[in-house]
């Protein structure tokens, strides 16, 4: 909890982690309305899966350009412009009138998601190295907190605002204004680059990052799938009593993600990166088992356990990647994120097609199998290193 105290006691740190929070406030707001968008546009599971695939495709498409942009305009400016553009771009999915418009608008959201995600993680990595502090896990804790705030506030506003667009516009206004005020603390920050990083980096330098990228694929698949499919799973498989409670799984998932990440920095220092990553995948497997029981209470608890398990994996991977020798933090984090987001890219559409062929329960069973396989690989790989 020392990292949390540090963040809350210094506006310089808080201004940066608020970007994490803002990013997921927008995502949490969008997640609540996925079932309604699906119903309004009369989409089946595979079509909504492809639409979500478009968001991830936009993100993956733009990731390689982010290091160049952060170098050209500055790291702090990239973070600020990224979060503002990302928020405003969410107007598109809410006003989409057909399947193609939804896909295009989500692709645009994905583009600005890439700029924001890579820039903010690189900024935290630079702050950690410069100030000799550990706040990466806590920063991701604020990302999870944003999901909780977005889903909780959204659940209340659904009953008050009949038009989803009004809800989205209100949230966008709050996010943009708060970041405009706080951005003064980091706006002029730039990335430190050694002379080696000015030239092309040899491919062999990236070899240590491949295992990190593999773990990121699975962790991001879990995070993305639960964010995008948990509401639909509770409605279609668990048959939850009220549609207003459909976001409950994502809320509990986000709460546990938040708690795990706020404690993650301290736990990592005590037991080490390898052990905390393995423990995270163990908990994720247990959570998937609970979700697959398809009973309301157990499924919601299962989403929470998955959130706790996955909570520290991505922050830890980004921290390790950001300290890789011979390559800048923006390039190493982009590499791990770029490959890792294949999981985020493919999981929504694959889950949709599996659900169409069988059902959504089978889709989550596949996530369990993938996580279990990765757990086994990580144990053997870490022991051999």
The dihedral sign for the CA sequence 106, 107, 110, 115: negative
CB 240 within 8 A of CB 366: no
Q: What pLDDT was estimated at residue 205?
A: 64
Q: Does the pLDDT of residue 176 top 60, yes or no?
A: yes
Mean pLDDT check: name the lowest of 117-121, 174-178, 294-298, 334-338: 334-338
Q: What is the pLDDT of residues 58-89, one digit of tens each?
A: 988 898 898 889 889 999 999 999 999 999 99
Give the mean model confidence (pLDDT) for residues 197-217.
71
Q: What is the pLDDT of residues 133-154, one digit of tens each?
A: 888 888 888 987 887 788 778 8
Residue 51 CA from chain centroid, whole number: 17
More confident residue, 171 or 3: 171
The dihedral sign for the CA sequence 240, 242, 245, 250: positive
- Could you state, in order of their start, the residue ranges of all structural domains in the chain? 2-190+204-384
Q: What pLDDT was estimated at residue 345?
A: 66
- What's the predicted TM-score (pTM) here? 0.78
Residue 365 CA from chain centroid, whole number: 21
- Contacts of residue 5, defined as CB under 8 A and 6 or more positions apart, other chains included, come to none
How many Å apart are CA 62 and CA 110, to the nearest integer? 8
Q: Does the pLDDT of residue 201 top 60, yes or no?
A: no
Share of the chain above pLDDT 90, in %: 35
CATH superfamily, domain 2-190+204-384, is MFS general substrate transporter like domains (1.20.1250.20)
Residue 182's H or E segment, with its range, is helix 164-182
What's the token pair of residue 8?
């809350």
Q: What pLDDT was estimated at residue 241?
A: 75
CB 218 within 8 A of CB 370: yes
DSSP of 110-145:
HHHHHHHHHHHHHHHHHHHHHHT---HHHHHHHHHH
Give the mean model confidence (pLDDT) for residues 327-353.
76
């Amino acid at each position: 909890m020392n990292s949390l105290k540090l963040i809350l006691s210094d506006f310089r740190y808080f201004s940066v982690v608020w970007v994490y929070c803002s990013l997921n406030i927008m995502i949490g707001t969008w997640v609540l309305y996925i079932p309604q968008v699906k119903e309004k546009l009369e989409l089946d599971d595979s079509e909504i899966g492809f639409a979500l695939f478009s968001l991830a495709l936009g993100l993956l498409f733009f990731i390689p350009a982010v290091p160049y942009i952060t170098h050209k305009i500055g790291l702090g400016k990239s973070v600020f412009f990224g979060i503002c553009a990302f928020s405003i771009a969410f107007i598109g999915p809410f006003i989409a009138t057909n399947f193609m418009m939804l896909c295009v608008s989500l692709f645009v959201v994905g583009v600005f998601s890439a700029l924001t995600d890579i820039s903010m993680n690189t900024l935290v990595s630079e702050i950690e190295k410069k100030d000799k502090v550990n706040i990466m896990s806590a920063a991701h804790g604020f990302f999870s907190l944003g999901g909780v705030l977005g889903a909780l506030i959204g659940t209340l506003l659904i009953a008050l605002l009949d038009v989803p667009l009004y809800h989205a516009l209100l949230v966008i206004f709050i996010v943009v204004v708060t970041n405009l005020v706080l951005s003064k603390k980091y706006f002029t920050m730039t990335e430190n680059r050694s002379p080696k990083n000015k030239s092309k980096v040899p491919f062999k330098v990236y070899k240590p990052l491949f295992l990190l990228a593999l773990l990121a694929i699975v962790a991001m698949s879990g995070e993305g799938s639960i964010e995008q499919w948990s509401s639909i799973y509770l409605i279609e498989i668990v048959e939850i009593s009220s549609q207003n409670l459909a976001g409950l799984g994502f809320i509990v998932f986000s709460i546990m993600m938040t708690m795990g990440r706020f404690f993650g920095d301290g736990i990592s220092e005590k037991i080490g990166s390898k052990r905390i990553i393995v423990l995270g995948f163990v908990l994720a497997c247990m959570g998937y088992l609970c979700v697959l029981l398809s009973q309301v209470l157990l499924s919601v608890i299962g989403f929470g356990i998955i959130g706790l398990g996955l909570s520290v994996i991505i922050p830890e991977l980004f921290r390790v990647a950001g300290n890789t020798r011979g390559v800048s933090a923006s390039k190493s984090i982009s590499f791990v994120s770029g490959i890792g987001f294949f999981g985020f890219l493919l999981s929504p559409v694959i889950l949709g097609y599996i659900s169409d062929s069988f059902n959504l329960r089978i889709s989550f069973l596949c996530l369990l199998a993938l996580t279990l396989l990765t757990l086994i690989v990580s144990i053997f790989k870490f022991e051999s290193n």
